[in-house]
Amino acid sequence: MVLNWFLFLAAVLFCTGVYGVLARKNGVLVLMSVELILNAVNLNLVAFGAFNQTVTGQIFALFVIAIAAAEVGVGLAIVLLIYRNRQSVDLTGIDALKG
Amino acid sequence: MNDILVHWGLSLAIFLPIAGAALLLLIPKENELFIKQVALATTIVTAAVGVWLLVKFDYKHTGRLQFPVNKSWIEIINSRYHIGIDGLSLPLLALSMFICILCVIYSWDHFPEPHNPKAFLALILLLETGMNGTFIAQDLILFFVFFELVLLPMYFMIGVWGGVNRQYASIKFFLFTLFGSALMILGFLALYFRAGHTFDIPTLIDNASRMLPHNSEVWIFAALFMGFAIKVPMFPFHTWLPDAHTEAPTVGSVILAAILLKLGTYGFVRIALPILPDAAHTWAPWIGLLAVIGIIYGALGCLAQRDLKRLIAFSSVAHMGFVMLGIATLTSFGINAAIFGMVAHGLITGMLFFTAGSIGERYGTREMSRLGGLLIQAPKLGWILGFCCMASLGLPGLAGFWGEFPAILSAFNPANGLSVTTFRVYMVVASIGTVLAAGYLLWMFQRVAFGEPKEEFAHEHIHDVHGPEWLAWTPMLVLILVLGVFPGLMFKITDGAVSNIAHALAVVGR
Amino acid sequence: MLGQNIAFGVIALIMMMAAVQVVTSTNVVRAALSLVIVLAGVAAQYILLAAEFTAVVQVMVYIGAVVVLFLFGIMLTRARIGHESDLDNSNKIPAFIVSFTLFVLLIALLRDAFGRQKIHVAAPSNTAQIGTAIFSTYLVPFEVASVLLLAALVGAIVLARRD
Amino acid sequence: MLRFAAASLAAAGSGAFHQPVIDYHAFAPEIVLTGVLMIVLVADLIVPEDRKVWVTNIAGIGVLASLIPIITLAVSGHDRSMFGGAYVVDHFSLVFKGLFIATGYVVLLMSTNYVADGDYYEGEYSFLLLASILGMVVMASSRDLITIFVALEMLSLPAYMLAGWRKRDPKSNEAALKYYLLGVLSSAVMLYGMSLIFGTTGTTVLADIGSYLSQQGGTPPLVTVALLMIVLGFAFKVSAVPFHFWAPDTYEGAPTPVAAFLSVASKTAGFVALIEILYVGFLSNNNVWGPLCWVLAALSMTVGNLIALRQTNIVRMLAYSSIAQAGYILVPFAVAGANSHALVTAQKASALYLLVYTAMNLGAFAVVIAVARKTRSGEISSYGGLFSYAPGLTLLMSAFMFSLAGIPPLGGWFAKLFMFSAALDAGTRPAIVLAVIAGVNSVIALFYYASVAREMWMSPVPDGDVTPIRVPPALATALGITVLLTVAVGVYPTLFARMADVTVLARL
Amino acid sequence: MLDHAWIIPLIPVVSFFLILFFGKRFPSKGASIGCVALGICFALSLVLGAQWIGRDKTIEPLHHATAQQVRAAESGRASSAQGGEAGGEKVEMKRAPVVHETTWFQTGGIKIKAGVLIDGLSVALLVVVSTISLLVHIFSTEYLRDDRRKTHYFAALSLFTSGMFILVTSSNTLQMIFGWELMGLCSFMLIGHWWEDKNNSNAALKAFFTTRTGDIGLLVGISMLFGLAHNTFDIGRINSLAMSGRLDQGLLTVAAAALLLAVIGKSAQFPLHTWLPDAMAGPTPVSALIHAATMVVAGVFLISRLYGVFWQGFHIGTANGFTPVAIVGGVTIIIAAALAFVQSDIKKVLAYSTVSQLGYMVMALGVGGWTAAVFHLFTHAFFKACLFLGAGSVAHSGSHHSFDMKEDMGGLKKHMPITYATFVIASLALAGIIPFAGFWSKDEILVSAHANGYNTFLWVGLVGALMTAAYMTRCIYLTFHGEARGAAAHHHPHESPLPITGPLVFLAVLSVVAGFVQAPMLHIEAFANIVEPAYVSSVVNHSGFNGGLALAGLIAAFAGIGIAGGYYFRNLGPRGLTSRNGAARAGYTFLVNKYYLDDIYTDGVVGSIKGPIARAAYWINQNVIDGVLNGAAALAIMLGRFTYDIVDQRIVDGAVNGLGLSAEAGGGALRTVQTGKVQQYAAILFGALIVFAVALWRFAK
């Protein structure tokens, strides 16, 4: 297998995620897009690990997975918080702080 | 006792005032008299140390650093607590101590709004620390710290106790000076890295010009120039000055004129010239040019003024032009004149601000068109004003003359390597400046003092000079006269130190 | 080898389509389900790369926990399950430009760096190695991660609870 | 001394699991901190609602306790390198661990009354704060990409949540959201960069990365962009322009002590990571990150200062100020590559600036908190006439403001001096240009710092209410500590200069 | 006394301080202190003079000869014959000047000395100044008896005198500046003595400012000389160096020109003379002092003191009939004399007269007549002081403090006989009628001009003499003759008391006898002998008596008197001048008989002088020259306003404020990027990533 196949796939996921983060306005969907990005990173790490013949890549990926889970939890908590105060998860309306 | 003073006298001169200021902060606000007494006592004790230094100073070797202390301070950058005085710093140090006492005395009964003597006096003391320290420091970083230390108190003094436009004036003053010092510190650092990793001024004087290529010298000098020129202030960096002076309380103006402006010129003489003699030669014609522009420009500015204090402020631009012209000649004669000019300007313009402040306080206005007949209503005040005007316009026999004439004189024969023609043109222009000085000062005096009092004040009782004013002013007036008649008193002190500098400069000129 | 390549191609294609679905779908739940497909695809790729342990963790944590969290989130924020037209903001075009440029940039870089270098998949079952490394070399991050999870837990609860 | 990580892993993989030998002394600060963390969590459950202050007090004492092992480690002197160089306890890490813990203590002091009066969750607040500090403390020792990543998340996640701690305030929610979202994104980008580096070098240990890259000579484009991505992650953390957007919004919306914490500790942690990564891992790639930091520094200083000119809210102004300050701190990075001497000076300069910046910026926030207790406002205009009824606070605030502006003899000037000195030590043309930009910027900056002072000293009291401000003891202690350091460093800079002296990482 | 001459300048200084600080406690308000001090000075000056005369003649005036030799040697045209000739000439020995100096201060390694230089010139000036000053003091005790600022007045008077003393005794140019400026200050104070009136303070300002303008030249000139003479202010050295011709000729000329500017300012030469008539705003005794002995003669003194510089700088010895100095003097003579015709203020007549006479002195110096100039200075001091004090007496007792001849005087002869007599004597002296003092000195000037080949200026001198005689006749007529008008008619004019008449008489006597100290006609050359310093003697030649010129001078004077007398006689009808004034009638008759001048001629000459020409001159004076001065002042103020309002406030300050504003505007613009929308922030984040990546990629390549 060619290394770059995996890397290109990861790049696609990464950029798709970036698009999602920038273009979605529902907070939950933005978080999902973030997950896409993180998975791209993980795919990269595992592929590189295999490429370099080391488990370090996998270990790194495992840490990312664990922490990403925590991040999502926190993110959802914040989105919920916002929803509770604003009755909406529309990110575009959140611009009270600016300038 | 003697030994202690020899070692710590100078440090006392720096830190007594700040200790006094700290003490003031501890005294409750209500206890006004005590606050004033403590402040006065502090300045007097500091001055007593100064007198002791004056007595102990070895006048035979004015070119040598005396009462030196050289202790470790900031090891990481090899900056040391190196202090000492020579003939260059002594007069200015004495002036600074002296003026501070007088300022405390003068403000005894009339603190400007919003009153608060505690803070006001604390600021004066803080200023004194900064000023004394600047004149004593022999390490660039130490110098810089003290140089900057004066900014804050003056900022607050103008900003809190100043006139209507005080906020604008104070921030302008602050920003301008800071801009200069930002570049100046860059220059200091460049010196440090390019000339032997030291901030020690005497060492740098010995080494820097050997270690630096001409090009670097010129750039470093430019950086230092900005720092000092703004403080002086030289045209075209002067615009902070009129605003600051006009808005500052009387005492603030006096300190500003008498001492703060000297920090810039002192910096030139103490640091820029001897450390970078080569660059000094390159820059001197430009400095001279700005100086003479300043002379004429300041005078023209004066002619346009309606406000008494603003006029005096502009006159400072002109007078400092003479000082800078003297410095720009790079001759021992010119630099001596410059130092004399600094002290003289300190005394004279200080006095002018005192009188202007007192006049403004009595009449409630400093608008010259509304004043008049001062000689009728308060003849003593009026004649003191006249005396100061005369001194300021460089009348021989009064101190101002020795700042102006020798500067002109030295421009005829500038140091080797400088364009003689250029400086001779400067000489003529500067001479024209003396005429303009006579013009604006006499014009001012005529409008303020001569004639009959204006209708609006004709029936008001204008108090003539009172106690604290006499106390504060008499020494200055006497000094103006004494220095005018016996300039040797000053030249004797400065000559040795200046000749060292001139020597360093002359080596390059050849 | 060919089988692996074909498998990669098929899975990758599905993943990409699903990923696009995640960011373009007008239905929140469908987006979440598409995400599941992507995540599962990633796990499959891990297996192709002989990282079974990671693949298992991926399935358990992501599909088992994270996606469920998302679904809870969707429900708690009362998003309509059906069609929702305004899930996107007005920045679609700039967003596309940015991400596409980024994509081009990354592809160019990767081509430049790795060309057609191959992965030689080692013998599977390196799980023991992973365990050993985590508990020796990566002990500190492991312990810290545990505190991190605790902190996230406590914090998320405080934030999310009603008071 | 450092073994090649892959080799050690291969060795570990071949045999059975050997329990690693752990130097507990070296880990003592982290262990104590973790213990305190747990105690606080448990204590929060036990302590009754009206005595919650105790929890904060316990946290405070605990934090101070964790200083003890740091001191003992510092006294014992020698560097300890563990896990194949992935975790190092040396002077650099000890100085910054101490700084983080001290910062944590002061922030706790600042928070005590703020959180209690605001009726927010106190125990959890302290817990999260300590957790974040733990992440920072770990960060100071991390020399491995994985550890750095975990430490970064450790310090960030609690901070995201703390930013939203004023749950009922939409602004606080917004602050948390922005911080969180941008934080997660930038850490994702950083991770991507890390993955590329790992792919190229085959290792995550910084020292090994460094030796691999220096053997390669030159920087391939992929490494360049990967490095950029990693730097971006931390540039976000230190709020360097153009990755700063979160900072003003978050500072303004977050609880003020949290804003203080973010502007100081979190920023410092970012810089610590940058120092580790750049000076250890990518020293040979200075030709990439040098110019990058140059641009970031110049942009941060200029944009931060210019926008700060137009702020009316004190916290927001401080946010932009902290952006500008980050620019000053980045200056040494930009010029470090000129020569070996400049490299050393630059590191010292960054470290010193961080130390001083922490003290003065925390102090400024402490005053903001104190004043807001009375005025209930963050507007700069509400500081009008403060001098007339709170001269002490005015004096303190002036000291902090002018220290931030870099006016002697307050600490900030020395930090700036050192920053300038790094630039001039390098002496290259870009370095000097940057120094001049920094110089001009410090003048612009003065304008808004001084305008706060102006408001306090020279303006009338806006609402005429001149009842004095009561400063609670905890806050007063915080103020005392910060002002003492700010002034002391200015007058006797050797105090901190020594500390900065030992923080040099790259040994050449 | 020769060795302690420093006491003389010191006395009035001490007196100044005594009066200033203690004067008010005296019944005389300090006047007595001044009088006593000046009395002492006067006595000491006389002693000094006597000692000087008694001093041995020890040096030869060889400087110049030696210098010529040097020059010749340098230019390679050394001629022993020439040298022998010069050396072989029979030379008259001169008295060595007495110089006592002490180091004043040291700066830049240069010792600057202070000291006194006593030679004939300084002795002569000391005597003149102390005499006049003493008399003025005495006069003032009466004249300003009830003045509200009597103390100030006398203090200033003392200081004024000391300024002149310092000037004339200086051994170096630096000290000269002291005296010079001190007088400037005092003239300011005294001219503006009654400063309540704006006109007076304006006049004071104008005086100070105008002389100060000239001082540009003084400062520049002395600076240049200091540099040229290798860093010394020493007058003797400067002179001898200048004479030696070893100084850069071009620079020396510039220096001399600069000093000439100072002289023009101080000695009220054309075109900076306009301050002097305005200066009449001061009390009359002050005018006497300023015009006779101090202040204005300072300029003349400066030239004579630094004659070497001028001699060499302007080639006075070798110029072909014109030197700048002489031109300045000559023009001034005519212009000022013409102006004196049309004044109705008696003091202004005298003021213009002074300007004109100073022109004589300057011209004399310009034509190489050093002795003549100093001699004229000497004699002029007495009769001009007498005239001014006389005018003061008239105003004090005759016209009720008015100086307007046309409105408030006339017919005072019978009321004030002493004043009248002294006034006429002084006028005759001024007009140059033998044997009065003015005749001798004016004659000396004419002789010098003639002998040194400056014939143009000889004619100028003669015309001046004619005009002088004429306007003085007019002045006397209007003041003392004819019908009493205005105040003179209504305020019971009477003779002044002794403190006024005493000095008048004394001065009148001096006006008669002072001329005889230098009367070549009678083979008396005492003045030249005593006064002329060695370095001057070496270059100036004395041509002795010239009968023709003396006659010409007299004719001119009588013509003047005659024309003026006739004119007034004719216009006043049957009760005209001739019946009352013998001199006038004689002059008129003389004119008529001698030249058979008819009405047309009379009307033509006098009428044109008095009429169109004088008026035109006056108009030009007031509107053009004075206008230029005032205009310059106005221009300076306008320029100041422009500089301040436009350059300073708008451009320089505006640039600064503009920078501040643009910084704020920049901040404002940048703020708009901070939209508050988190996804935009994210977009910027990624955008920046891309930009940086591309840039760095390219950069790394």
User: Which residues in chain C have Cβ-Cβ distances shorter than 8 Å to D121?
Assistant: 158
Per-residue pLDDT of chain B (510 residues; tens, 9 = 90+): 567 777 788 888 889 999 999 999 888 888 888 999 999 999 999 999 889 888 888 888 888 888 888 988 888 888 889 999 988 889 999 999 999 999 998 888 878 878 888 889 999 999 999 999 999 999 999 999 999 888 889 998 998 888 888 888 888 888 888 888 888 988 998 888 888 888 999 888 888 888 888 888 899 999 999 999 998 888 888 888 888 888 899 899 999 988 999 999 999 999 998 898 888 889 999 999 999 998 988 888 888 888 888 889 889 988 999 999 999 999 888 899 999 999 999 999 999 999 998 888 888 888 888 888 888 888 889 889 999 998 998 888 889 888 888 888 888 888 888 888 899 999 989 988 888 888 888 888 888 888 888 888 877 788 888 888 888 899 999 999 999 888 888 888 888 888 888 888 877 654
Q: Do chains D and C touch (3 or more CB pairs under 8 A)?
A: yes
Phi, psi torsion values for C22, nearest 5 degrees: -55, -40
Kindly report, residue by residue over D437-456, the tens digit of the pLDDT: 998 898 888 889 988 988 89
Is B27 near chain D, with CB under 8 Å?
no
Give me D385's structure tokens: 């006439």
Contact between E494 and E369 under an 8 Å Cβ cutoff? The reply is no
Question: How would you classify the pairing of strands B66-74 and B79-85?
Answer: antiparallel
Q: Do chains E and A touch (3 or more CB pairs under 8 A)?
A: yes
Contact between D112 and D255 under an 8 Å Cβ cutoff? The reply is no
- Percentage of chain D surpassing pLDDT 90? 55
Q: D134–C144: do the CB atoms touch at under 8 Å?
A: yes
User: Which residues in chain D have Cβ-Cβ distances shorter than 8 Å to E667?
Assistant: 305-310
Give me E159's structure tokens: 């200081």
Cα distance from E523 to chain B (closest Cα, Å)? 44
- CA separation for the pair B333, B335 (Å, rounded): 6
Cα distance from C95 to chain D (closest Cα, Å)? 14
D27 pLDDT exceeds 50? Answer: yes
CB nearest to D204's CB, from A27, A60, A96? A60
Question: How would you classify the pairing of strands D87-89 and D80-82?
Answer: antiparallel
Closest CA to B241 of B335, B322, B315, B149: B315
Cα distance from E643 to chain D (closest Cα, Å)? 28
Cα dist from D467 to D371, D470, E53, whole Å: 12, 9, 90
Closest CA to B150 of B17, B288, B300: B17
CB nearest to C102's CB, from E679, E686, E697? E686
Q: C98–E690: do the CB atoms touch at under 8 Å?
A: yes
Task: Show the low-confidence residues of chain A (pLDDT under 50).
Answer: none
Kindly report, residue by residue over E329-373, the tens digit of the pLDDT: 888 888 788 777 777 778 888 888 888 888 888 888 888 888 888
Residue D463, C-beta contacts closer than 8 angstroms, at least 6 positions apart: none
CB nearest to E676's CB, from A18, A30, A98? A98
Length of chain B: 510
Helix segments in D164-255, DSSP class H: 170-201, 206-216, 221-237, 246-253
> Could you report how far apart the first and last alpha carbons of chain C are, in Å?
58
Those of residues 40-99 in A touching chain C at CB distance below 8 A are 42-43, 46-47, 49-51, 53, 55-56, 58-59, 61-63, 65-74, 76-81, 83-84, 89, 91-92
* SS3 state of residue A18: helix
Cα distance from B75 to chain D (closest Cα, Å)? 6
Average pLDDT of D214-240?
A: 90
At C97, the pLDDT band (50, 70, 90 cuts) reads: very high
What per-residue string of b and e applies to B147-182 under the rule 16 or more CB within 10 Å gives b? bbbbbbbbbbbbbbbbbeebbbbbbbbbbbbbbbbb
Contact between B313 and B245 under an 8 Å Cβ cutoff? The reply is yes
Q: B435–E220: do the CB atoms touch at under 8 Å?
A: no
Beta carbon pairs, C and D, within 8 Å: 109
Closest CA to A47 of A38, A35, A57, A62: A57
Cα distance from C87 to chain D (closest Cα, Å)? 18
Q: What is the pLDDT of residue B2?
A: 66
Cα distance from A45 to chain C (closest Cα, Å)? 10
User: Which residues in chain D have Cβ-Cβ distances shorter than 8 Å to C135?
Assistant: 17, 20
User: Which residues in chain E have Cβ-Cβ distances shorter than 8 Å to C107?
Assistant: none
Give me D433's structure tokens: 């240009």
Cα dist from E454 to D323, E316, E368, E451, whole Å: 85, 10, 9, 8
Higher pLDDT, E146 or C58: C58
- CA separation for the pair D455, E357 (Å, rounded): 70
- CA separation for the pair D212, E344 (Å, rounded): 108
Beta carbon pairs, A and C, within 8 Å: 245
**Could you tell me the mean pLDDT of each successive run of 10 residues in chain E, 701 residues long?**
81 86 78 84 87 78 47 43 42 77 81 84 86 84 79 85 88 87 85 82 81 86 86 84 81 88 85 78 82 82 86 79 85 81 78 87 85 85 86 78 73 79 85 81 83 82 84 80 72 77 84 80 76 76 74 81 69 43 50 36 45 58 66 76 76 76 82 86 91 84 63
Q: E678–A25: do the CB atoms touch at under 8 Å?
A: no
Kindly report, residue by residue over D349-397, the tens digit of the pLDDT: 999 999 999 999 999 999 999 999 888 888 998 998 888 888 889 999 9
User: Which residues in chain D have Cβ-Cβ distances shorter than 8 Å to C150?
Assistant: 131
Q: D494–B74: do the CB atoms touch at under 8 Å?
A: yes
Q: Enter the ipTM.
A: 0.88
User: Which residues in chain D have Cβ-Cβ distances shorter than 8 Å to C141?
Assistant: 144, 146-147, 149-151
Q: What is the pLDDT of residue E595?
A: 32
Q: Tell me the DSSP string of C2-61.
A: HHHHHHHHHHHHHHHHHHHHHHH-S-HHHHHHHHHHHHHHHHHHHHHTT-HHHHHHIIII
User: Which residues in chain E have Cβ-Cβ distances shorter than 8 Å to C101?
Assistant: 690
Give the lowest-confidence range in D225-234, D330-339, E568-577: E568-577
User: Which residues in chain D have Cβ-Cβ distances shorter than 8 Å to B144?
Assistant: 408
D1 pLDDT exceeds 70? Answer: no
Cα distance from B480 to chain E (closest Cα, Å)? 15
- Percentage of chain C surpassing pLDDT 90? 46
Average pLDDT of D43-56?
A: 85
Burial class (CB in 10 A: 0-12, 13-18, 19+), C30: middle
Q: Write down the pTM of the prediction.
A: 0.87
Q: D83–C154: do the CB atoms touch at under 8 Å?
A: no
Is E574 near chain D, with CB under 8 Å?
no
The letter for the amino acid at C36 is V
- CA separation for the pair B463, D44 (Å, rounded): 73
| Longest pairwise C-alpha distance within chain B | 70
Cα dist from C29 to C15, C67, C83, whole Å: 17, 10, 9
Residue the block writes with tokens 């611009």: A95
Is B174 near chain D, with CB under 8 Å?
yes
Query: Closest-CA residue in chain D for E687?
Result: D242
Compute the 3-state secondary structure of chain B and give helix, strand, coil in percent, each to the nearest 5.
Answer: 80, 5, 20
